[in-house]
A and B are shown apart, each in its own frame.
Chain A
Amino acid sequence: MSNTPTVNNNSLEEDTSGATKAMQWFGVFFLIYLLIMAVGMIGTGFKAQTAGRAGELFEFATNPFTGLLIGILGTSLIQSSSTVTSIIVGLVAGGLPVETAIPMVMGANMGTTITNTIVAMGHINKKKTFRRAFAAATVHDFFNLMAVLIFLPIEIMFGVLEKIGGMMAGLFIGVDASVKDANFIKPITKPVIGVFQDLSAIIYAPFANIILIILGVLLIFVSITVVGKLLRRLLVGTAKEIMHKAIGRGPLSGIASGTIVTVLVQSSSTTTSLMVPLAGTGKFRLKQIYPFTLGANIGTTITGLLAATAATGANAIFALQIALVHLSFNILAVVVIFGIPFLRHIPLAGANRLAKISADNKLIALGYVLGVYFGIPFLLIWVFGLIG
Protein backbone atom coordinates (compact mmCIF):
# COMPACT_ATOMS: atom_id res chain seq x y z
CA MET A 1 0.00 0.00 0.00
CA SER A 2 1.35 3.43 -0.80
CA ASN A 3 2.18 5.91 1.93
CA THR A 4 0.63 9.10 0.78
CA PRO A 5 2.76 11.98 1.98
CA THR A 6 1.13 15.24 2.91
CA VAL A 7 0.11 16.97 -0.24
CA ASN A 8 1.86 20.25 -0.76
CA ASN A 9 -0.83 22.44 -2.10
CA ASN A 10 -0.03 24.37 -5.19
CA SER A 11 1.92 27.44 -4.16
CA LEU A 12 0.09 29.33 -6.90
CA GLU A 13 -3.19 28.52 -5.18
CA GLU A 14 -1.98 29.62 -1.76
CA ASP A 15 -0.81 32.97 -3.09
CA THR A 16 -4.13 33.72 -4.76
CA SER A 17 -6.70 35.63 -2.75
CA GLY A 18 -10.36 34.60 -2.62
CA ALA A 19 -11.39 37.55 -4.77
CA THR A 20 -8.78 36.76 -7.42
CA LYS A 21 -9.85 33.14 -7.46
CA ALA A 22 -13.49 34.17 -7.84
CA MET A 23 -12.48 36.37 -10.79
CA GLN A 24 -10.55 33.51 -12.32
CA TRP A 25 -13.51 31.16 -12.00
CA PHE A 26 -15.75 33.79 -13.51
CA GLY A 27 -13.23 33.98 -16.33
CA VAL A 28 -13.41 30.22 -16.80
CA PHE A 29 -17.19 30.19 -17.10
CA PHE A 30 -17.16 33.22 -19.35
CA LEU A 31 -14.61 31.56 -21.63
CA ILE A 32 -16.67 28.38 -21.76
CA TYR A 33 -19.62 30.53 -22.74
CA LEU A 34 -17.43 32.12 -25.44
CA LEU A 35 -16.42 28.67 -26.67
CA ILE A 36 -20.02 27.55 -26.97
CA MET A 37 -20.98 30.79 -28.67
CA ALA A 38 -18.03 30.55 -31.07
CA VAL A 39 -19.10 27.05 -32.08
CA GLY A 40 -22.54 28.48 -32.72
CA MET A 41 -20.95 31.20 -34.90
CA ILE A 42 -19.18 28.57 -37.00
CA GLY A 43 -22.36 26.55 -37.35
CA THR A 44 -24.37 29.61 -38.31
CA GLY A 45 -21.79 30.94 -40.75
CA PHE A 46 -21.16 27.57 -42.33
CA LYS A 47 -24.85 26.79 -42.73
CA ALA A 48 -25.52 30.15 -44.32
CA GLN A 49 -22.49 29.96 -46.59
CA THR A 50 -23.06 26.44 -47.82
CA ALA A 51 -26.87 26.72 -48.02
CA GLY A 52 -27.28 23.00 -47.50
CA ARG A 53 -24.42 22.05 -49.79
CA ALA A 54 -21.86 21.39 -47.06
CA GLY A 55 -21.40 17.85 -48.31
CA GLU A 56 -20.41 19.13 -51.76
CA LEU A 57 -18.04 21.71 -50.33
CA PHE A 58 -16.24 19.07 -48.36
CA GLU A 59 -16.29 16.50 -51.12
CA PHE A 60 -12.48 16.56 -51.21
CA ALA A 61 -12.57 15.29 -47.63
CA THR A 62 -14.98 12.44 -48.30
CA ASN A 63 -11.87 10.36 -48.89
CA PRO A 64 -11.44 9.32 -45.25
CA PHE A 65 -7.67 9.38 -45.51
CA THR A 66 -7.79 12.99 -46.65
CA GLY A 67 -10.06 13.77 -43.72
CA LEU A 68 -7.66 12.00 -41.38
CA LEU A 69 -4.68 13.92 -42.72
CA ILE A 70 -6.54 17.25 -42.50
CA GLY A 71 -7.25 16.45 -38.86
CA ILE A 72 -3.59 15.60 -38.20
CA LEU A 73 -2.21 18.63 -39.99
CA GLY A 74 -4.71 21.11 -38.59
CA THR A 75 -4.16 19.93 -35.04
CA SER A 76 -0.38 19.84 -35.41
CA LEU A 77 -0.42 23.47 -36.52
CA ILE A 78 -2.84 24.70 -33.87
CA GLN A 79 -1.50 22.29 -31.22
CA SER A 80 -4.93 21.76 -29.75
CA SER A 81 -7.24 18.85 -30.47
CA SER A 82 -9.91 20.56 -28.38
CA THR A 83 -9.88 23.54 -30.75
CA VAL A 84 -10.03 21.37 -33.85
CA THR A 85 -12.77 19.08 -32.55
CA SER A 86 -14.81 22.09 -31.44
CA ILE A 87 -14.46 23.54 -34.94
CA ILE A 88 -15.50 20.19 -36.41
CA VAL A 89 -18.54 20.09 -34.11
CA GLY A 90 -19.42 23.59 -35.31
CA LEU A 91 -19.07 22.54 -38.94
CA VAL A 92 -21.25 19.49 -38.38
CA ALA A 93 -23.81 21.76 -36.73
CA GLY A 94 -23.63 23.79 -39.94
CA GLY A 95 -24.25 20.78 -42.13
CA LEU A 96 -20.96 18.92 -42.60
CA PRO A 97 -21.84 15.21 -42.83
CA VAL A 98 -20.88 13.23 -39.73
CA GLU A 99 -19.37 10.55 -41.95
CA THR A 100 -16.94 13.12 -43.38
CA ALA A 101 -16.10 14.50 -39.94
CA ILE A 102 -15.23 11.21 -38.23
CA PRO A 103 -11.79 10.70 -39.85
CA MET A 104 -10.97 14.36 -39.12
CA VAL A 105 -11.70 13.74 -35.46
CA MET A 106 -9.45 10.68 -35.53
CA GLY A 107 -6.75 12.82 -37.14
CA ALA A 108 -7.15 15.45 -34.43
CA ASN A 109 -6.45 12.70 -31.89
CA MET A 110 -3.17 11.97 -33.63
CA GLY A 111 -2.09 15.54 -34.29
CA THR A 112 -2.40 16.64 -30.67
CA THR A 113 0.54 14.47 -29.62
CA ILE A 114 2.94 16.92 -31.27
CA THR A 115 3.00 19.09 -28.15
CA ASN A 116 4.34 16.47 -25.78
CA THR A 117 6.83 15.38 -28.43
CA ILE A 118 8.12 18.96 -28.68
CA VAL A 119 8.39 19.03 -24.86
CA ALA A 120 10.49 15.86 -25.09
CA MET A 121 12.73 17.52 -27.68
CA GLY A 122 13.61 20.06 -24.98
CA HIS A 123 15.73 17.35 -23.32
CA ILE A 124 17.66 16.64 -26.47
CA ASN A 125 21.03 17.48 -24.96
CA LYS A 126 20.87 14.81 -22.28
CA LYS A 127 20.82 11.40 -23.88
CA LYS A 128 19.33 9.31 -21.10
CA THR A 129 16.75 11.92 -20.13
CA PHE A 130 15.84 12.50 -23.75
CA ARG A 131 15.39 8.78 -24.37
CA ARG A 132 12.97 8.42 -21.47
CA ALA A 133 11.14 11.65 -22.30
CA PHE A 134 10.84 10.82 -25.99
CA ALA A 135 9.49 7.37 -25.20
CA ALA A 136 6.90 8.89 -22.85
CA ALA A 137 5.81 11.29 -25.59
CA THR A 138 5.75 8.83 -28.47
CA VAL A 139 3.87 6.09 -26.62
CA HIS A 140 0.89 8.39 -27.17
CA ASP A 141 1.68 8.59 -30.88
CA PHE A 142 1.91 4.85 -31.26
CA PHE A 143 -1.30 4.28 -29.34
CA ASN A 144 -3.24 6.80 -31.43
CA LEU A 145 -1.78 5.38 -34.62
CA MET A 146 -2.89 1.88 -33.61
CA ALA A 147 -6.33 3.22 -32.76
CA VAL A 148 -6.65 4.67 -36.25
CA LEU A 149 -5.27 1.55 -37.92
CA ILE A 150 -7.85 -0.56 -36.11
CA PHE A 151 -10.90 1.66 -36.10
CA LEU A 152 -10.70 3.64 -39.33
CA PRO A 153 -11.04 0.59 -41.60
CA ILE A 154 -13.84 -0.73 -39.39
CA GLU A 155 -15.53 2.65 -39.58
CA ILE A 156 -15.17 2.81 -43.37
CA MET A 157 -16.62 -0.68 -43.78
CA PHE A 158 -19.32 -0.70 -41.13
CA GLY A 159 -19.81 2.81 -39.77
CA VAL A 160 -19.74 1.44 -36.24
CA LEU A 161 -18.70 4.64 -34.49
CA GLU A 162 -21.24 6.68 -36.45
CA LYS A 163 -23.96 4.28 -35.35
CA ILE A 164 -22.84 4.26 -31.73
CA GLY A 165 -22.65 8.06 -31.69
CA GLY A 166 -26.04 8.32 -33.33
CA MET A 167 -27.61 5.94 -30.86
CA MET A 168 -26.19 7.80 -27.89
CA ALA A 169 -27.16 11.20 -29.32
CA GLY A 170 -30.69 9.94 -29.83
CA LEU A 171 -30.95 9.29 -26.12
CA PHE A 172 -30.34 12.96 -25.41
CA ILE A 173 -32.11 14.57 -28.32
CA GLY A 174 -35.38 13.28 -29.74
CA VAL A 175 -35.50 12.17 -33.35
CA ASP A 176 -37.79 15.11 -34.06
CA ALA A 177 -34.99 17.33 -32.72
CA SER A 178 -37.44 19.16 -30.53
CA VAL A 179 -34.53 20.93 -29.01
CA LYS A 180 -36.37 24.18 -28.46
CA ASP A 181 -38.09 22.80 -25.40
CA ALA A 182 -34.84 21.86 -23.63
CA ASN A 183 -32.32 24.25 -25.12
CA PHE A 184 -31.31 26.96 -22.74
CA ILE A 185 -28.10 27.70 -24.62
CA LYS A 186 -29.74 29.29 -27.64
CA PRO A 187 -31.33 32.23 -25.77
CA ILE A 188 -27.97 33.22 -24.29
CA THR A 189 -25.86 32.75 -27.39
CA LYS A 190 -28.11 33.75 -30.28
CA PRO A 191 -28.21 37.47 -29.51
CA VAL A 192 -24.41 37.66 -29.31
CA ILE A 193 -24.01 35.57 -32.46
CA GLY A 194 -26.35 38.09 -34.08
CA VAL A 195 -24.00 40.91 -33.05
CA PHE A 196 -21.05 39.09 -34.63
CA GLN A 197 -23.12 38.48 -37.76
CA ASP A 198 -23.77 42.19 -38.02
CA LEU A 199 -20.09 42.89 -37.37
CA SER A 200 -19.07 40.49 -40.11
CA ALA A 201 -21.48 42.16 -42.51
CA ILE A 202 -20.00 45.54 -41.62
CA ILE A 203 -16.44 44.30 -42.21
CA TYR A 204 -17.20 42.98 -45.67
CA ALA A 205 -20.77 41.99 -46.51
CA PRO A 206 -20.08 39.63 -49.48
CA PHE A 207 -17.88 37.47 -47.22
CA ALA A 208 -19.88 37.99 -44.06
CA ASN A 209 -20.45 34.27 -43.44
CA ILE A 210 -16.82 33.39 -44.00
CA ILE A 211 -15.74 36.21 -41.69
CA LEU A 212 -18.17 34.88 -39.10
CA ILE A 213 -16.61 31.43 -39.39
CA ILE A 214 -13.09 32.85 -39.09
CA LEU A 215 -14.07 34.91 -36.04
CA GLY A 216 -15.62 31.78 -34.54
CA VAL A 217 -12.43 29.80 -35.13
CA LEU A 218 -10.30 32.54 -33.55
CA LEU A 219 -12.62 32.79 -30.57
CA ILE A 220 -12.52 29.02 -30.06
CA PHE A 221 -8.74 29.06 -30.18
CA VAL A 222 -8.45 31.97 -27.75
CA SER A 223 -11.05 30.66 -25.32
CA ILE A 224 -9.61 27.16 -25.19
CA THR A 225 -6.05 28.45 -24.80
CA VAL A 226 -6.90 30.92 -22.04
CA VAL A 227 -9.30 28.62 -20.19
CA GLY A 228 -6.63 25.93 -20.23
CA LYS A 229 -4.12 28.30 -18.64
CA LEU A 230 -6.66 29.48 -16.04
CA LEU A 231 -7.76 25.99 -15.11
CA ARG A 232 -4.16 24.87 -14.81
CA ARG A 233 -3.58 27.62 -12.30
CA LEU A 234 -6.82 26.99 -10.41
CA LEU A 235 -6.77 23.22 -10.34
CA VAL A 236 -3.17 22.11 -10.25
CA GLY A 237 -3.56 21.33 -6.53
CA THR A 238 -6.59 19.16 -7.25
CA ALA A 239 -4.74 17.52 -10.11
CA LYS A 240 -1.91 16.67 -7.75
CA GLU A 241 -4.30 15.13 -5.23
CA ILE A 242 -5.83 12.98 -7.93
CA MET A 243 -2.43 11.85 -9.12
CA HIS A 244 -1.31 11.08 -5.57
CA LYS A 245 -4.34 8.86 -5.12
CA ALA A 246 -3.55 7.02 -8.34
CA ILE A 247 0.08 6.23 -7.51
CA GLY A 248 0.67 2.58 -6.79
CA ARG A 249 -2.87 1.58 -7.62
CA GLY A 250 -2.50 0.05 -11.06
CA PRO A 251 -3.36 0.98 -14.63
CA LEU A 252 -7.12 1.46 -14.31
CA SER A 253 -6.50 4.03 -11.65
CA GLY A 254 -3.95 5.65 -13.96
CA ILE A 255 -6.48 5.83 -16.78
CA ALA A 256 -9.14 7.27 -14.48
CA SER A 257 -6.80 9.89 -13.05
CA GLY A 258 -5.60 10.85 -16.54
CA THR A 259 -9.21 11.30 -17.60
CA ILE A 260 -10.19 13.39 -14.59
CA VAL A 261 -7.11 15.62 -14.69
CA THR A 262 -7.63 16.26 -18.40
CA VAL A 263 -11.30 17.11 -17.86
CA LEU A 264 -10.24 19.53 -15.14
CA VAL A 265 -7.58 21.34 -17.18
CA GLN A 266 -9.45 20.93 -20.49
CA SER A 267 -6.34 19.92 -22.37
CA SER A 268 -4.83 16.55 -23.18
CA SER A 269 -1.66 18.30 -24.37
CA THR A 270 -1.13 19.75 -20.89
CA THR A 271 -1.59 16.47 -19.07
CA THR A 272 0.48 14.38 -21.46
CA SER A 273 3.17 17.06 -21.64
CA LEU A 274 3.38 17.04 -17.83
CA MET A 275 4.18 13.36 -17.97
CA VAL A 276 7.17 13.90 -20.25
CA PRO A 277 9.50 15.59 -17.74
CA LEU A 278 8.30 13.21 -15.02
CA ALA A 279 9.38 10.32 -17.20
CA GLY A 280 12.50 12.07 -18.46
CA THR A 281 13.87 12.57 -14.97
CA GLY A 282 13.21 8.92 -14.22
CA LYS A 283 10.62 9.64 -11.55
CA PHE A 284 7.96 7.65 -13.43
CA ARG A 285 8.45 4.67 -15.67
CA LEU A 286 6.96 4.47 -19.13
CA LYS A 287 4.60 1.71 -18.01
CA GLN A 288 3.09 4.11 -15.47
CA ILE A 289 2.85 7.06 -17.87
CA TYR A 290 1.05 4.97 -20.46
CA PRO A 291 -2.34 4.54 -18.69
CA PHE A 292 -2.37 8.20 -17.69
CA THR A 293 -1.86 9.14 -21.34
CA LEU A 294 -4.80 6.96 -22.36
CA GLY A 295 -6.94 8.67 -19.76
CA ALA A 296 -5.99 12.02 -21.28
CA ASN A 297 -7.34 10.78 -24.63
CA ILE A 298 -10.70 10.13 -23.03
CA GLY A 299 -10.77 13.27 -20.89
CA THR A 300 -10.18 15.61 -23.80
CA THR A 301 -13.45 14.60 -25.44
CA ILE A 302 -15.31 16.71 -22.87
CA THR A 303 -14.59 19.84 -24.88
CA GLY A 304 -16.31 18.47 -27.96
CA LEU A 305 -19.32 17.58 -25.83
CA LEU A 306 -19.38 21.10 -24.42
CA ALA A 307 -19.13 22.49 -27.93
CA ALA A 308 -22.05 20.32 -29.05
CA THR A 309 -24.35 22.11 -26.60
CA ALA A 310 -24.06 25.13 -28.89
CA ALA A 311 -25.81 23.39 -31.74
CA THR A 312 -29.46 24.09 -32.29
CA GLY A 313 -32.04 23.09 -34.82
CA ALA A 314 -32.10 20.02 -36.99
CA ASN A 315 -28.33 19.57 -36.90
CA ALA A 316 -28.04 19.62 -33.13
CA ILE A 317 -28.30 15.86 -32.99
CA PHE A 318 -25.48 15.50 -35.50
CA ALA A 319 -23.23 17.87 -33.59
CA LEU A 320 -23.81 15.83 -30.46
CA GLN A 321 -23.31 12.67 -32.49
CA ILE A 322 -19.83 13.65 -33.66
CA ALA A 323 -18.86 14.65 -30.11
CA LEU A 324 -20.06 11.25 -28.88
CA VAL A 325 -18.22 9.54 -31.74
CA HIS A 326 -15.04 11.19 -30.45
CA LEU A 327 -15.78 9.93 -26.95
CA SER A 328 -16.65 6.40 -28.05
CA PHE A 329 -13.64 6.16 -30.35
CA ASN A 330 -11.29 6.98 -27.50
CA ILE A 331 -13.01 4.71 -24.99
CA LEU A 332 -13.13 1.80 -27.41
CA ALA A 333 -9.49 2.34 -28.37
CA VAL A 334 -8.49 2.07 -24.72
CA VAL A 335 -10.69 -0.96 -24.15
CA VAL A 336 -9.39 -2.80 -27.22
CA ILE A 337 -5.73 -1.80 -27.32
CA PHE A 338 -5.09 -1.66 -23.60
CA GLY A 339 -7.51 -4.43 -22.81
CA ILE A 340 -5.94 -7.03 -25.10
CA PRO A 341 -2.54 -7.97 -23.65
CA PHE A 342 -0.64 -8.54 -26.88
CA LEU A 343 -1.91 -5.22 -28.30
CA ARG A 344 -1.25 -3.36 -25.07
CA HIS A 345 2.51 -3.75 -25.29
CA ILE A 346 2.90 -2.63 -28.90
CA PRO A 347 2.86 1.14 -28.21
CA LEU A 348 5.36 0.62 -25.38
CA ALA A 349 7.67 -1.43 -27.57
CA GLY A 350 7.36 1.03 -30.45
CA ALA A 351 8.03 4.04 -28.23
CA ASN A 352 11.04 2.41 -26.58
CA ARG A 353 12.51 1.38 -29.90
CA LEU A 354 12.02 4.79 -31.49
CA ALA A 355 13.40 6.53 -28.41
CA LYS A 356 16.53 4.36 -28.45
CA ILE A 357 17.18 5.04 -32.12
CA SER A 358 16.45 8.75 -31.68
CA ALA A 359 18.71 9.06 -28.64
CA ASP A 360 21.57 7.61 -30.69
CA ASN A 361 20.83 9.84 -33.66
CA LYS A 362 18.87 12.92 -32.73
CA LEU A 363 18.27 13.97 -36.32
CA ILE A 364 15.95 10.98 -36.50
CA ALA A 365 13.86 12.52 -33.72
CA LEU A 366 13.64 15.79 -35.63
CA GLY A 367 12.85 13.97 -38.85
CA TYR A 368 10.16 12.00 -37.07
CA VAL A 369 8.42 15.11 -35.75
CA LEU A 370 8.62 17.05 -39.02
CA GLY A 371 7.74 14.03 -41.12
CA VAL A 372 4.87 12.56 -39.13
CA TYR A 373 3.08 15.78 -38.25
CA PHE A 374 3.72 17.90 -41.32
CA GLY A 375 5.65 16.28 -44.15
CA ILE A 376 3.66 13.11 -44.64
CA PRO A 377 0.23 14.72 -44.19
CA PHE A 378 1.10 17.54 -46.63
CA LEU A 379 2.49 15.13 -49.16
CA LEU A 380 -0.38 12.68 -48.99
CA ILE A 381 -3.05 15.40 -49.12
CA TRP A 382 -1.35 16.68 -52.25
CA VAL A 383 -1.15 13.17 -53.74
CA PHE A 384 -4.79 12.39 -52.96
CA GLY A 385 -5.73 15.74 -54.43
CA LEU A 386 -3.91 14.87 -57.66
CA ILE A 387 -5.49 11.45 -57.81
CA GLY A 388 -8.82 13.16 -57.22
Chain B
Amino acid sequence: MTESDEYGDLSRKSLKAKIAETQALLVELEAEMEKRELNREHKAVDHLDDYITETDQSILSLISYARKLIAGEKKS
Protein backbone atom coordinates (compact mmCIF):
# COMPACT_ATOMS: atom_id res chain seq x y z
CA MET B 1 0.00 0.00 0.00
CA THR B 2 1.58 3.34 -1.05
CA GLU B 3 1.32 6.39 1.09
CA SER B 4 -0.09 9.53 -0.51
CA ASP B 5 2.60 12.26 -0.47
CA GLU B 6 -0.11 14.92 -0.32
CA TYR B 7 -1.39 13.78 3.01
CA GLY B 8 1.64 12.03 4.30
CA ASP B 9 2.84 15.12 6.19
CA LEU B 10 -0.48 15.84 7.86
CA SER B 11 -0.78 15.22 11.52
CA ARG B 12 -3.50 12.89 12.75
CA LYS B 13 -5.44 15.89 14.05
CA SER B 14 -5.16 17.72 10.73
CA LEU B 15 -6.19 14.60 8.86
CA LYS B 16 -9.29 14.25 11.03
CA ALA B 17 -10.12 17.91 10.43
CA LYS B 18 -9.74 17.42 6.67
CA ILE B 19 -12.03 14.42 6.79
CA ALA B 20 -14.67 16.39 8.68
CA GLU B 21 -14.34 19.25 6.18
CA THR B 22 -14.72 16.89 3.24
CA GLN B 23 -17.73 15.21 4.79
CA ALA B 24 -19.34 18.61 5.36
CA LEU B 25 -18.62 19.52 1.73
CA LEU B 26 -20.13 16.23 0.59
CA VAL B 27 -23.29 16.97 2.57
CA GLU B 28 -23.48 20.44 0.97
CA LEU B 29 -22.95 19.07 -2.52
CA GLU B 30 -25.57 16.35 -2.02
CA ALA B 31 -28.01 18.97 -0.74
CA GLU B 32 -27.32 21.08 -3.82
CA MET B 33 -27.87 18.04 -6.05
CA GLU B 34 -31.14 17.26 -4.30
CA LYS B 35 -32.24 20.90 -4.57
CA ARG B 36 -31.58 20.87 -8.32
CA GLU B 37 -33.45 17.60 -8.71
CA LEU B 38 -36.43 18.93 -6.80
CA ASN B 39 -36.43 22.12 -8.87
CA ARG B 40 -36.33 20.04 -12.03
CA GLU B 41 -39.29 18.02 -10.80
CA HIS B 42 -41.25 21.14 -9.92
CA LYS B 43 -40.56 22.57 -13.38
CA ALA B 44 -41.74 19.33 -14.97
CA VAL B 45 -45.00 19.47 -13.00
CA ASP B 46 -45.46 23.09 -14.06
CA HIS B 47 -45.45 21.86 -17.65
CA LEU B 48 -47.82 18.97 -17.01
CA ASP B 49 -50.20 20.35 -19.62
CA ASP B 50 -47.62 19.60 -22.30
CA TYR B 51 -47.90 15.91 -21.56
CA ILE B 52 -51.66 15.65 -21.34
CA THR B 53 -52.26 15.30 -25.07
CA GLU B 54 -49.53 12.67 -25.17
CA THR B 55 -51.63 10.53 -22.84
CA ASP B 56 -54.54 10.34 -25.29
CA GLN B 57 -53.45 7.04 -26.73
CA SER B 58 -55.65 4.24 -27.93
CA ILE B 59 -55.17 0.76 -29.29
CA LEU B 60 -55.00 2.36 -32.75
CA SER B 61 -51.79 4.10 -31.65
CA LEU B 62 -50.41 0.67 -30.81
CA ILE B 63 -51.14 -0.51 -34.31
CA SER B 64 -49.24 2.44 -35.83
CA TYR B 65 -46.28 1.89 -33.46
CA ALA B 66 -46.24 -1.78 -34.38
CA ARG B 67 -46.18 -0.92 -38.10
CA LYS B 68 -43.28 1.53 -37.63
CA LEU B 69 -41.39 -1.00 -35.55
CA ILE B 70 -41.84 -3.82 -38.01
CA ALA B 71 -40.92 -1.52 -40.92
CA GLY B 72 -37.80 -0.47 -39.03
CA GLU B 73 -36.85 -4.08 -38.36
CA LYS B 74 -37.32 -5.01 -42.03
CA LYS B 75 -35.02 -2.15 -43.15
CA SER B 76 -32.29 -3.21 -40.77
Q: Give A contacts to B, CB under 8 Å.
A: 2-5, 7-8, 10-12, 77, 79, 114-116, 118-119, 121-122, 124-125, 232, 236, 239-240, 243-244, 247-248, 269-270, 273-274, 276-278, 281, 283-284, 288, 362-363, 366, 369-370
Q: Name, among B34, B52, B70, the residue most crowded by chain A CB atoms within 10 Å (CB to CB).
A: B52
Supposing A247-B45, A284-B44 touch, asked if A273 and B55 sit within 8 A by C-beta, the answer is yes
Distance, CA A8 to CA B41, complexed state (A): 14
Q: Is the CB of A124 within 8 A of B68?
A: yes
Distance, CA A2 to CA B42, complexed state (A): 9
Q: Which residues of A contact B59 (CB under 8 A)?
A: 77, 79, 114, 118
B39 at the interface (CB under 8 A from A): yes
In the assembled complex, the CB of B30 is this many whole angstroms from the nearest CB of chain A, namely: 14
Q: Is the CB of A118 within 8 A of B52?
A: no
Q: Is the CB of B57 within 8 A of A236?
A: no
In the assembled complex, the CB of B52 is this many whole angstroms from the nearest CB of chain A, namely: 6
In the assembled complex, the CB of A329 is this many whole angstroms from the nearest CB of chain B, namely: 25
Distance, CA A276 to CA B62, complexed state (A): 16
Q: Is the CB of A119 within 8 A of B54?
A: yes
Question: 24 A-B Cβ contacts within 8 A?
Answer: A2-B38, A4-B42, A7-B46, A11-B49, A118-B57, A118-B58, A118-B61, A118-B65, A119-B54, A119-B57, A121-B65, A240-B46, A243-B45, A243-B48, A244-B45, A247-B42, A269-B55, A270-B55, A273-B57, A274-B51, A277-B54, A278-B44, A281-B44, A362-B72
Q: Is the CB of A366 within 8 A of B66?
A: yes
B35 at the interface (CB under 8 A from A): yes
Q: Name, among B55, B61, B70, the residue most crowded by chain A CB atoms within 10 Å (CB to CB).
A: B55
What is the interface size of chain B, counting residues whose CB is below 8 A from a CB of the partner? 29
Q: Which residues of B contact A5 (CB under 8 A)?
A: 39, 42-43, 46
Q: Which 7 residue pairs across A and B have the least CB separation, nearest first?
A: A273-B55, A283-B44, A118-B57, A277-B51, A121-B65, A2-B38, A8-B46
Distance, CA A122 to CA B57, complexed state (A): 9
Q: Which residues of B contact A239 (CB under 8 A)?
A: 48
Closest to B35 in A: A3
Neighbour of A247 across the interface among B41, B58, B65, B73, CB < 8 A: B41
Q: Which residues of A contact B62 (CB under 8 A)?
A: 118, 121, 369
Q: Is the CB of B73 within 8 A of A278?
A: no
In the assembled complex, the CB of A19 is this many whole angstroms from the nearest CB of chain B, namely: 22
B19 at the interface (CB under 8 A from A): no
Q: Which residues of B contact A240 (CB under 8 A)?
A: 45-46, 48
Q: Which residues of B contact A118 (CB under 8 A)?
A: 57-59, 61-62, 65
Closest to B58 in A: A79
Q: Which residues of B contact A236 (CB under 8 A)?
A: 48-49, 52
Distance, CA A245 to CA B26, complexed state (A): 27
Q: Name, among B39, B54, B70, the residue most crowded by chain A CB atoms within 10 Å (CB to CB).
A: B54
Neighbour of B38 across the interface among A8, A232, A247, A270, CB < 8 A: A247
Distance, CA A7 to CA B49, complexed state (A): 13
B40 at the interface (CB under 8 A from A): yes
Q: Which residues of A contact B34 (CB under 8 A)?
A: 248
Distance, CA A283 to CA B59, complexed state (A): 27
Distance, CA A240 to CA B62, complexed state (A): 28
Known: A4-B42, A5-B46, A118-B65. 17 other contacts (CB 8 A): A5-B42, A8-B46, A12-B49, A118-B58, A119-B54, A119-B57, A122-B61, A122-B65, A244-B42, A247-B38, A247-B45, A248-B41, A273-B55, A274-B48, A276-B55, A283-B40, A283-B43
Q: Which residues of B contact A116 (CB under 8 A)?
A: 55
